[in-house]
Structure 1
Amino acid sequence: MTKIIWHSKTLEKEIKILHNSKINFIPTMGNLHDGHLSLIKAAKKNSFFNIVSIFVNPLQFNEKKDFINYPRTLKKDIKILKDLNVDFIFIPEKKFSSIEIEFSKIKYLNKLCAIDRPGHFEGVAKIIYKFLRLINPDLIFLGKKDYQQILVIENLIEEFEFNTAIKKLPIVREKSGLALSSRNNLISKDKLNSTKFIFKILKNLSEKIINEGLFLYEIDHFQKEIINHGADKLNYLEILNSKDLSSINSRPCKAIIFISAEFDGVKLIDNLEIKGKIKLCEEKIISF
């Protein structure tokens, strides 16, 4: 039977009662969709105890308006989680976001989303740190849509020597190819139709690299294409080393194409792993 826990101290007591049982942890901000459910269903494949959190973290929002407008569907979320027979639903008190801590090893704060969302990943790291200290899970389940966030959490786990491994799950998409996000339902129908071009452009870029190679100057064409197909703004479109988000060079590496675009003021992110390895050869990215 699912138990709902509203306070950190209550959860701490409940975890002690588990007597060192292995724990899966799935952090969410609620407004659950099939992407979240894929994490929970993957977690339920082992025999561990499952804890799902619902907490809209104010520390990771750059604008108060964005925090206020973030979709909240708590009653619906609780029903979904009960139907999935999750062991614990943890809905922390507001003061859960009160934390003073400094990080020395967190990287990736000058890349991609960190550029136009200053303080975002520090805010994520603070709350995840607090969750990990409280729960001490064996596994934490995260979706690859937030790839940069996964790398930040890996840094966090390494710095504080948490005994928690990360399970990375594939991006779940709508039929159009759009990556599922709690923010998708904030976009108008007209603009939502344009969002399908995000994944199309990622695929076209990947296929071009694999089939014929991509000159660096050609990335500009793909950047313009996303605007021409209805995006209000393109924040970035980059091809980076999947290990450390470094730029592609002459050394072969696994790589990912990252994109962030805005529709109706809603920022959407997505990424696509390129099959095989790539490298830069005389201003051209090639696959082999």
Structure 2
Amino acid sequence: MKIITEYQEFINYRNTLKSISFVPTMGNLHKGHMTLIDNAKSYNSHVAASIFINPLQFNDASDFKNYPKSLDDDIALLSKHGCNSVFIPNSSILEGIKELKAPDTALYLCGVNRPGHFDGVLTIVNKLFEITKPTRAFFGKKDFQQLTLIKNFVKEKKLPIEIISVDTVREWNGLAMSSRNIRLSESDREKASKLYKTLSSIKANSNNLSYEMIKSYKDDLTQQGFDVDYLSVCNPNSLKDLEDFNLKPILVAIAASIGGIRLIDNILID
């Protein structure tokens, strides 16, 4: 596996390749990321990953500072899974970067309490796309809002990139795999499985959805020690809260903290 740290070197390397299946990451890789790599490999093209913890998308300096890092393990894992190259830039990638403003879709869900977060996401993803010029790029459905924004961005800018969404990978107890999970205590990791159980229960009762039901689920999570940022029933395209729960498809999305660790998840109801 080729390891590249200078963006001009990657640009030159890219010019020698026909097509690229690209998996951008912030490192601390896990089975969810490897599922993205495995999906990328299925296209029989060069598979490239990137590792860069993007400071532009963090609202909290301590969250950025404490974001888990495991670079040596990440490189070994990518190599083991057949990744062909990995781009690991330093902060110089941000010099003179064109800062983008995310559209209104960024104002809902995570955007309510994380202003500017998705501006930072789109800014760095756009920069990485400029450098890697991927044929296709792979993103997980766990970060549904991010996925939606990137899909719409690529479509709006008419970029020749196919955005491929990959199903959320879960731990044995249903908890969505995340780089933040490593910071959970053993007891909090078990409690965190309640998020997916809540989403699954809402889906099972989707024919009787009401605001009162959603409030009761939220109250139940709060009583169990969660700090619930949102539990929203929304349109999967606009991400606006639905007034009519009979309009399918429906996205049920949640963000909540346990033990000070913020977790997100979602489920789609067709």
Q: When the two structures are superposed, what TM-score results if normalisation uses the length of structure 2?
A: 0.95
CA contact (8 A) 1:243 1:254 kept: no
Give me the whole-angstrom Cα distance separating, in 1, the residues matched to 2:165 and 2:154.
Answer: 15
Give me the whole-angstrom Cα distance separating, in 2, the residues matched to 1:158 and 1:112.
Answer: 22
1:265 maps to a residue whose letter is: G
Among 53, 64, 68, the alignment partner of 1:67 is 64
- Residue aligned with 1:260, SS: strand
Instruction: Indicate the percent of aligned positions where both proteins have the same amino acid.
Output: 34
Q: Does 1:58 align with 2:52?
A: no
Partner of 1:4: 3
- Residue aligned with 2:139, SS: strand
2:233 maps to a residue whose letter is: I
Partner of 1:283: none
- Residue aligned with 1:78, SS: helix
Give me the whole-angstrom Cα distance separating, in 1, the residues matched to 2:198 and 2:249.
Answer: 19
Among 136, 152, 160, the alignment partner of 1:163 is 160
Among 238, 242, 245, the alignment partner of 1:248 is 242
Q: Does 1:216 align with 2:215?
A: no
2:5 maps to a residue whose letter is: W
CA contact (8 A) 1:105 1:159 kept: no
- Residue aligned with 2:121, SS: helix
How many residue pairs get matched?
269
Measure how far apart 1:87 and its partner are.
1.1
- Residue aligned with 2:105, SS: coil
1:244 maps to a residue whose letter is: S
Partner of 1:262: 257
* Aligned ranges 1:77-96 → 2 under 5 Å: 77-96=74-93
Moved more, 146-155 or 33-42: 146-155
Partner of 1:271: 266
Measure how far apart 1:101 and its partner are.
2.8
Q: Does 1:127 align with 2:124?
A: yes
**Structural RMSD (CA):** 1.5
CA contact (8 A) 1:143 1:170 kept: yes
Measure how far apart 1:138 and its partner are.
1.1
Q: When the two structures are superposed, what TM-score results if normalisation uses the length of structure 1?
A: 0.89
Runs of 4+ in 1 over 6 A off after TM superposition: none
Give me the whole-angstrom Cα distance separating, in 2, the residues matched to 1:229 and 1:13.
Answer: 53
Give me the whole-angstrom Cα distance separating, in 1, the residues matched to 2:32 and 2:8.
Answer: 29
* Unmatched 5+ stretches in structure 2: none
Measure how far apart 1:229 and its partner are.
2.0
Q: Does 1:149 align with 2:146?
A: yes
